[in-house]
Structure 1
Amino acid sequence: MSKELGLNVSTTHRIVRALVSEGYLAQNEDSERYYLGTGALLLGQAAHRNFGLDVVYPVLQQVAASTGESVNLGVLSGDTAVVVERIESAKPLRFTQPPGTRVPLHASSMGKVLLAFNAETEQRMLRGVKRLEQLTPNTFGTPKELRSELERTRARGWSIDNEELTQGVRCVGAPICDGAGIARAAIAIQAPAVRVPDERFDELGPVAMRAAKEISALLPPGHTF
């Protein structure tokens, strides 16, 4: 732990002891390994409420029920989108992407709407970049290709991930915007590619867009993720 933090052992030990005393960490008496304590659980619950997830969750549930597919809510975090809430598909064949998962902006449906509807983020990410990381054969490899895709995304109002992040997985995404129309979060519907032929994009995309607009309307003015 001290090596990962770049701190000496005695300093790391003091920090760990402080976290234990406040309940954020606990220690297994047999293995002596540390794990998250009840303080971390309570902190997570507070963050859940502050994010507005209590309001958002029923919308995600409705989308999952109507489509039969997994639904993600993600927010911008640096140069990635991070999953903060997820409803899993009840179908046995599904792709797992638990909360806390980070996905690249250029190769995910959530990331693409966070770029397409947030000009500042798009400019910051693509400034001076010549090549984008090729994660699958379908990943857009240059800023020029990605910008063309973002134009198509803006025209539709929703994005497509055509096995660009993970082969065998297709997704659509839609932006959750603030009052100025800037994307602050995103919703994604995710499914195995075998259940999403090309024509189903046109079914799922509008569903994601309607849900994203509903979430935007439910959140109080000035809410930030």
Structure 2
Amino acid sequence: MSGMSLQTVSKTIKVLEAFLQFDGGRASVSGIARELGWSRAAAHQYVSTLAEGGWLQQDEEREYRLSPRAAVFGRFAIEYSAIPPEVSRRMEPLVQLLNEPISFAVLNGNEAIIVERHEPKRPFAITQAAEPHLELRTSASGMVLLAFDAHVDRARFTDMGDTLAAVRASGYAQSHSEWMGDVVDVVAVPIMLGQECLGALSVIAPSGRLDIPLARDTLLRSRREIEAEMSGDA
């Protein structure tokens, strides 16, 4: 593939990703141009091409949004690609060991999104129907993704430089915050394949119930085992 073709593919992906930055996922051509720092003409060329291909739809206010075709593709990717099997098959044993919900989250624009969750069979459990979206700045999984995911625009998070440096140095993030109306403790670790951050593996529990040193050491050990298996070093 020529350099020009690669550049075209890269710019097309940037346009699709730009829609994740707008409230409601809707944006005008001018809004996309401002978000990407392009001319309006360049943004229009890519947006109109994606619309012709069925990946974007235009509404009556002449704003664009991702089409149902893009949504179907996204659900397919989450179901079949987002969860490395080496991660998925270790989540239930982690639930049994820590007796708390275990989640795997990936970067999704301005937030982290939980794409798989396993829960203990007891009265307190964060169900699959619970809110899957996590704040990047305040959640343990979000901080892990900010610290380790090379695709993050860290220029937007310069105020978190010291925090993210500490997460990278320690290999994990910890948060104590309100989520879904409850105050919770969370510990999260990145899952890396080479230099690529595949997502954040985390454990969550009501405030005061989680044995944080045990959770931290267990997740760090699981991370080492998962990464070794994926790289063929197990």
TM-score by length of 2: 0.60
Tell me, what secondary structure is at the counterpart of 2:137? helix
Structure 1 residue aligned with 2:201: 187
Query: What count of residue pairs does the alignment treat as equivalent?
Result: 171
The equivalent residue for 2:193 is 178
1:17-32 aligned at under 5 Å gives the runs none
SS in structure 2 of the partner of residue 209 of structure 1:
helix
Check if 1:209 corresponds to 2:206: no
1:120-179 Cα deviation digits (max 9, x unpaired)? 62623315xxxxxxxxxxxxxxx2xx4333233223211101126564211100001121
The structure-2 alpha-carbon separation of the partners of 1:168 and 1:160, relative to structure 1 and needing over 3 Å to count, comes to same
Partner residue, 2:88: 57
Greater percentage in helix: 2
Stretches of structure 1 that go unaligned for 5 or more consecutive residues are 9-14, 20-35, 128-142
The alignment status of 1:66 with 2:97, answered yes or no, reads yes
Could you tell me how far 1:100 is from its partner in structure 2? 7.3
| Higher-RCO chain (CA-CA 8 Å, sequence separation at least 6) | 1
What displacement does 1:68 show? 0.3
The 8 Å contact of residues 163 and 169 in structure 1, kept in 2 or not, is answered as yes
1:219 shift after superposition? 3.6
Instruction: Answer whether contact 1:86 1:99 (CA < 8 A) is retained.
Output: no
1:124–1:165 CA distance, 2 compared to 1 (3 A): farther
Give 3-state SS (helix, strand or coil) of 1:61's partner: helix
User: Identical aligned pairs, as a percentage?
Assistant: 24
Residue matched to 1:169 = 184
Question: Is the counterpart of residue 89 in structure 1 residue 120 in structure 2?
Answer: yes
Structure 2 residues without counterparts, runs of 5 or longer: 1-25, 27-56, 61-66
SS at match of 1:107: coil
